[in-house]
Structure 1
Amino acid sequence: MSNQDELFNPLDPEVIRDPYPVYRRLREEDPVHWHSELGAWVLTRHADCLQALKNPAVFAADFRKVGIPTPGPLLSLQTLDPPDQTPLRHFAIDALRSQDLGTLERNAEERAARLLDEIAGRDSINFVTDFATPFTLGTISQLVGMPPPEADEEWRQRNDELHRSMDAGLDPNSEEAGLAARQHFSDFVGRWLAGGPTEGISGFVATNRSKVDYTDAVLNNSLRAFWHAGFEVPARFLGNALTTLLNRPELLPQFFADVDAGVEELVRFSGPVHVVSRVCTEDVTIDDRRLRRGDMVIIVLAAANRDPARFDDPENLVLTRSPNPHLGFGRGAHSCLGNAVARIEARVALPALLRRFPDLRIDGELAWWENATLRGHSAIPVALHGEPAAVR
């Protein structure tokens, strides 16, 4: 796919590095934009994105409603819509509520302290691989009640294939490997559940399996999706948030003064989940554009989160912003179930790191994942000591 749209080329390296000028132009010039190369409508205004997120009957995540088959590894809580999804979502909510999040937060604090102790004697680290990923992987694995898999070469390859396939609409060649990676991780979850776990969410699922009428594959896929998103998305968010704060050191006292409000603003300003996809189940009009049944819709959450019609001074980081109705965790039936965990991880990790290393600074070139759907850094080289410097 050439993807040479006049307004929006998502995989252009410059757009990956900083997509916000393009989002602003789309909002201003063509907020309901037909992208011929994607074969999809692109929504960038907060009101339109919110409408689509909250109306799964018309903007469906389950493409089978319009006759588009869904491969087996993709059938999960994420791709089912109400009413089919409702019992499974309630089951997932019950599983999450059965866990002690206070203990999870205390353990996250201990995990962060251990990781910081391990790196304290070093001059520099890659924040992504040395802190963010092991921290979030350890936290979500504890919550799920599964041992973190060994981060060997196969793990890295499968994980890379999965996250690349999130852009399968832009790069169809990534789809097959991504499906295989999802199946690989779902099989790992299935083997763990078959062993009768007693701890964490997997213990709840194993014990209460008979209460929901879904196939093992859908349950395994749903738990896999929750677990995988539970480390990949927060790790990218921690990286985005860290670089944002390091580039604005004058705002750190505000961040420390109210970490919860600061985290919400960082989700709005530099959240990692940039787009989600839906399909129209019936004809619908947005402004003067007629969207037809079967049309694909790309909801650009990150563009909505900087819409001046919804946020004052949206292009600036305002750590005291309130209210803050961002869409960083989605809305409606497909809103992020793990948002409480992501918030815990952020309010634990960022203050701990920045207080432990007050002279922390970027020390090299930032690298980005080549991913338009889930935006984040693949490498953040930071020096732990010395004079602060601006982010490059």
Structure 2
Amino acid sequence: MTGREDPYPRYSRLREISPIVRAADGALVVTGYADCQTLVRDGRFAHMPADMLAFVGFPDWREHPALLQLWTSMLTLNPPDHTRLRRLVGSAFTARRVAALQPAIERMVGDLLDDLAAAPEADFVSGFAFPLPVAVIGELLGVPAADRPQFQTLVRDWTQVLEMITPDILATADPAAAAIRDYLGGLLDERRKEPADDLLTALTQAQTADDRLTDEEVLSNAALLFAAGFETTTNLLANGLVALLEQPGRLARVAEAPDAAVEELLRYDSPVQIASRIAADDVELAGLPIEAGERVVAYLGAGNRDPQRFDAPDELRLDRENNAPLSFGGGIHYCLGAPLARLEARIALPALAARFPEIALAGRPERRDSLTLRGFTGMPVQLGREAASNGASSLT
């Protein structure tokens, strides 16, 4: 079994060797929970600034849509630019706006379960784990339902640059990023003429007393929110279902304490496995001096399985207490969409268990070829008999 298929034994081995090791590409890698937490929270570690792309072979990064779209978004910017964008985007992407989506999410879950019930076997990724979050983030942003399916391929092609940047990858990622930007640009033009009750309109109106988002900032961050809005949740649902089906009766237990169960699923097989930073100054981590400019990588999936932080970390315990997975990062870059991803999973998984209590894998799931974003591209499932009720009561 490859490291991408199951990285956790290798993570464990790395922890045994040293709390911090140097990888073949020169980056320093940390695998312990405390060190990973420090890396994503401590302001002495920053995202690689765009001008450093020149040092890895891309001085023309602004001419590559895939790079331009990422390095002008909240994901990679550092203070004070990040602080400004986070404040403005956060003023539009509010907890109230997320909470207001609950009835829509419940309706979408019910509709997708109805669609699954049309056949005894289905693909869980294409039939549920992808269309649910893409419908939710599409609803939130204001992307019409008929336009949403195209984004699965476009976003996955674009986000390859999170794993590695090479000319071959950019040959696929650039046109995908350009297509996303062009589509959202057209939608933005429509919202300028006819505002709607959606996040894209709210982003165009986001402002403080003396500042507001430019159109380019709206587009870069709308693209980021769209991509992150379904990539993380799709992986959470798919990884979570596989883990739950490893033991009979485990899926049904999610409804007993859905909040705790979702946190444990996030910890057990994190949708995001890696966070990379650059030391902004000379600093010490895990007892090792690190020079300013050195790249340091937190293996979040390893930190989530650290026995110094979690009792029996390789066991899935749906009632685990004092759980605080690293899966959504931390500090100023903590995932803005984390509450939405949690809400979707808390609704979807109990509803799935209530509707199809006998659901089981019908073949080997197909793992996506990525370590940074961990998930599946396909997952055949046998639904078994439906419960006597259609499960609608579990959605209220």
Fold agreement, TM-score > 0.5: yes
Say if 1:360 and 1:383, in contact at 8 Å, map to a contact too.
Answer: yes
Are residues 1:72 and 2:59 paired? no
The answer to whether the 8 Å contact 1:276/1:298 transfers is yes
Note the C-alpha offset of 1:93: 1.6
SS, match of residue 381 in structure 2: strand
Letter in 2 for 1:207: Q
Q: Is the 8 A contact 2:367 2:375 kept in 1?
A: yes
Between 1:339-348 and 1:68-77, the stretch displaced more is 68-77
Aligned equivalent of 1:22: 10
Residue 156 of structure 2, aligned match among 149, 157, 160: 160
Number of residues of Structure 1 aligned to a counterpart in Structure 2: 371
Given that 2:92 and 2:199 are in contact with CA atoms closer than 8 Å, whether structure 1 keeps it comes out as yes
Q: Which residue of 2 aligns with 1:337?
A: 336
Q: Which amino acid aligns with 1:185?
A: I
Which stretch has the larger CA shift, 120-129 or 79-88? 79-88
Letter in 1 for 2:46: A
Indicate whether 1:235 and 2:234 are aligned.
yes
Distance 1:159 1:253, change over 3 A: closer
CA separation in 1, counterparts of 2:50 and 2:155?
Answer: 26
Whether the aligned pair in 2 keeps the contact of 1:284 and 1:291 (CA below 8 Å) is yes
Could you say which residue in structure 2 is the equivalent of 1:90? Answer: 87
Counterpart residue number, 1:262:
261
Equivalence for 1:4:
none
In structure 2, the partner of 1:45 is: 32
The letter for the 2-side match of 1:163 is T
What is the CA deviation profile of residues 188-217 of structure 1, one whole-angstrom value per residue up to 9, with x for unaligned ones? 222212222322211211223686355432
Q: Distance in 1 between matches of 2:187 and 2:147?
A: 15
Q: In the TM superposition, what is the alpha-carbon distance from 1:121 to its structure 2 partner? A: 2.6
How much has 1:98 moved relative to structure 2? 7.0
Could you say if the C-alpha distance between residues 329 and 122 of structure 1 is closer, same or farther in structure 2, counting changes exceeding 3 Å? same
Find the aligned partners of 2:80 and 2:350 in 1 and give their Cα distance: 41
Residue 204 of structure 1 corresponds to 202
Deviation, 1:245, is: 0.4
CA contact (8 A) 1:42 1:298 kept: yes
Q: What is the distance in 2 between the residues matched to 1:34 and 1:44?
A: 12
What's 1:383 paired with?
A: 382
Change (3 A) 1:227 1:280: same
Contact preservation (8 Å) 1:66, 1:281: no
- Looking at structure 1, the residues matched to 139 and 152 of structure 2 have their Cα atoms a distance apart, in angstroms, of 20
Q: Within 5 A, what are the aligned runs for 1:1-392?
A: 14-36=2-24, 38-56=25-43, 58-64=44-50, 68=54, 71-74=67-70, 75-97=72-94, 99-148=96-145, 150=147, 155=151, 157-168=153-164, 173-196=168-191, 197-208=195-206, 212-385=211-384
What's the offset of the Cα at 1:304?
A: 0.6
Q: 1:206 to 1:112 in 2, by over 3 A?
A: same
Q: Larger deviation: 143-152 or 25-34?
A: 143-152
Cα displacement string for residues 58-111 of structure 1 (whole angstroms, at most 9, x for unaligned residues): 211142476756642221011111222112111222112275334311111111
C-alpha change, 1:367 and 1:98, in structure 2 (3 Å) is: closer
Instruction: State whether residues 163 and 371 of structure 1, in contact with CA within 8 Å, keep that contact through their aligned partners in structure 2.
Output: no
**In structure 2, what is the Cα distance between the partners aligned to 1:155 and 1:111?**
18
Letter in 2 for 1:183: A
Work out the CA distance in 2 between the residues paired with 1:292 and 1:65.
18
Bigger shift: residues 213-222 or 312-321: 213-222
CA distance in 1, matches of 2:128, 2:251: 20
Aligned residues: CA RMSD: 2.3
2:22 and 2:28 in contact (8 A); partners too: yes
Amino acid aligned to 2:98? L
Q: Tell me the distance in 1 between the aligned counterparts of 2:284 and 2:273.
A: 23
Identity, % of aligned positions: 33
User: Deviation digits for residues 213-249 of structure 1, max 9, x if unmatched?
Assistant: 5543233111110111101210111000001001122
- Mapped contact 1:269–1:317 kept (Cα < 8 A): yes
Check whether the contact 1:99–1:143 (CA below 8 A) recurs between aligned residues.
no
Q: Which runs of 5+ in 2 are unaligned?
A: 62-66, 387-396
- In the TM superposition, what whole-angstrom CA distance separates every residue of 1:20-40 from its partner, at most 9, and x where no partner exists? 00111111212211112x331
Amino acid at match of 1:79: T
SS at match of 1:42: strand
In structure 2, give the amino acid aligned to 1:27.
R
TM-score, with normalisation over the residues of structure 1? 0.88
Name the TM-score, length of structure 2 as normaliser. 0.87
Q: Does the CA contact (< 8 Å) of 1:82 and 1:333 recur in 2? A: no
**Unaligned stretches of 5+ residues in structure 1:** 1-12, 388-392
